[in-house]
Amino acid sequence: MNLSVHPSIVLIDSIDKENNKDFGTGFIIHRDDYGTYILTCKHVLRDAGGAGKVRVSSIADVDIEDYDESFDLLVLRVNGLFTEQIFSLCASGNEGKEFVTAGFYRFDGDENPRIKDIKGELGKLEAIKSRETGNRITAWDLKIADGGFLKPGYSGSPVIDENGYVLGVVSHLRGKGEQGSAISIKSLKKIWRRMPSDLIKPTWLYDKILEGHSGCINNVSFSPIDDKILFSCSDDMTIRKWDIATRSSSIIGKHSTKVRAIIPSPNGKVITSGSENGTIRVWDTVTGAKVYSSPSKIHQKRINTLAISPDNKFLISGSSDQTIKVWDIQSLENGSPITDLPSKHTNGIRSIVVSKDGNFFISGSSDNLIKVINFNGKTLRKFIHSDKVLSIAISSDQRNLIIGSSDKTIRIWDLETAQLIDTLTGHRDEVRSVTISPNNQTFASGSTDGTIRIWDLENKKLLHVLPHEGAIRSVAYSPSGKVIAGGSSNASIKLWKLSE
């Protein structure tokens, strides 16, 4: 990110430049019918001459929007800057992560200040108490890298993380500028009484790691009715049920070969599993009792994917043997699928999802095809990808179809028109899992590059990158959408919580 040419980082200086050479930095955070809003430090306004005596990017029509005597933050309102980009704000970050900032400084007596990028590392987030009122805010400790230095004109500069979110506002430098402080964006709520409620974006914070499996985790899935219950299956041939509050788990099912796929029932009372040797089993999620076991090798090769219709009537299994089988869940004891669909795929089935209305399902295959199929086996529509289709997700309004592929991309299709909407890049290896949040606003992608990426579904913007220690095989949102689980090849599950 090249901030030195970023028009949303603005110079704040005095109208009377002949008698006042002081200046500072600010940046655009909001815009409405009343003007454009600039966040900076309160002392920048004071040093540049005070209210009515400053300008922003040479614009003199500037008003004080809000501030608090306790804290060194200030919001200005400018009649101008109507087309420049608005920075996105986030209240949470992580110690040790890299950041970039840019501010204005004067070089060798130049008449006009210059702007320059500097990089650094976030230190601790510490509480600061106001001497006047006793109120507290939080501030980041900043460690400047690569021999750079904060300079006095950097006061009011944005501290920006790797995802482009502003985490804080540079307020003070220490020493020669090799260190400094930045007031956390979280503190903005305390000084701006009219702040829009959605201005500060929530973020995902690492919560905990779950360990207990002894092999690669192939699938994770939350209970559809409980954020605290997670299920997982593994190459160690087991299905585990986790209490994520206590990090404890119990084995509720076991196969004689690797377990490749699981799917809990809509009420969470049973869970279905599919294995390497093509068998399907159903387990009671409370007692671990085996409710059903299919005849040996109901599929001729491994089962890669399972799906259940929203009304809990049909179970669908997809296999590397290129077949799709549909089961009447109420008649599983009969031992055979009610429909053995001619999938017309020419390679293994890797992912299946059922539409939210339960009228059709979608299959994705290593033959690069995605097919929309009704429960009579008729193909209604098909999409062609450039490489193997590894994972599918469908939005709750049934408009968007999201595809993860071995070509490292995510493609978003219009399900009604079969038109490609967008191709998203960023992952450095194949995308093994995609899933959409319950509120239909974001989706997550998991890759063998060891990251989970969170995307905005509407504008297709990358929101967050969540690191894991192994290749991601499966990603799941909790029913509330406030927890994300990622299952990895290193036999661990990482959890992240949404910070409001």
Q: Which CATH number goes with the domain that contains 249?
A: 2.130.10.10
181/210 same-domain check = no
User: Given this model, what pLDDT does residue 134 score?
Assistant: 65
| Assigned domain for 288 exists | yes
Largest separation between any pair of C-alpha atoms in the chain = 92
User: Given this model, what pLDDT does residue 103 score?
Assistant: 94
383/305 same-domain check = yes
| Assigned domain for 200 exists | no
218/162 same-domain check = no
CA 62 vs. chain centroid, Å, equals: 37
Which domain CATH number covers 152?
Answer: 2.40.10.120
| Assigned domain for 23 exists | yes
464/367 same-domain check = yes
168/263 same-domain check = no
- Domain finish residue from 195, 222, 254: 195
Count CB neighbours of 323 within 10 A: 21
State the residue range of the domain holding 421: 205-499
User: Is the distance from CB of 410 to CB of 385 less than 8 angstroms?
Assistant: no
User: Given this model, what pLDDT does residue 296 score?
Assistant: 74
| Assigned domain for 86 exists | yes
- Domain finish residue from 140, 160, 195: 195
Residue 499 burial (10 A CB sphere; 0-12, 13-18, 19+): middle
| Assigned domain for 336 exists | yes
215/292 same-domain check = yes
Say which DSSP state 85 is in: P
CA distance 148 to 256: 59
Signed CA dihedral, 122, 124, 130, 134: sign only: positive
One digit per residue, pLDDT tens: the chain, 500 residues?
Answer: 555 557 789 999 999 888 888 999 999 999 999 999 999 999 999 999 998 899 999 999 999 998 888 889 999 999 988 888 898 898 878 788 899 999 999 887 777 899 999 999 999 998 877 666 667 889 999 999 988 899 999 999 999 987 788 999 999 999 989 999 999 998 998 889 999 988 987 778 788 999 999 999 999 999 999 999 999 999 999 999 999 999 999 999 999 999 999 999 999 999 999 999 999 999 999 999 998 888 777 899 999 999 999 999 999 999 999 999 998 887 775 555 567 776 679 999 999 999 999 999 999 999 999 999 998 889 999 999 999 999 999 999 999 999 999 999 999 999 988 899 999 999 999 999 999 999 999 999 999 999 999 999 988 988 888 889 899 999 999 999 999 999 999 999 999 998 76
User: Given this model, what pLDDT does residue 269 score?
Assistant: 94
213/265 same-domain check = yes
220/108 same-domain check = no
Residues in the chain, total? 500
77/190 same-domain check = yes
- Domain finish residue from 132, 162, 195: 195
Distance set, CA 190 to CA 72, 136, 183, 483 (Å): 11, 10, 12, 27
User: Is the distance from CB of 161 to CB of 169 less than 8 angstroms?
Assistant: no
User: Is the distance from CB of 366 to CB of 373 less than 8 angstroms?
Assistant: no
Per the structure block, which two tokens stand in for 323? 């077949």
| Assigned domain for 274 exists | yes
334/298 same-domain check = yes
Residue 332: which region, alpha, beta or left (left: phi > 0; alpha: psi -120 to 50)? alpha
User: Given this model, what pLDDT does residue 2 score?
Assistant: 55
Helix (H) or strand (E) holding 457: none
User: Given this model, what pLDDT does residue 407 score?
Assistant: 96
422/483 same-domain check = yes
Number of domains in the chain: 2
Strand-pairing partners, residue 405, are: 389
51/187 same-domain check = yes
Beta strand pairing call for 492-499 and 442-447: unpaired
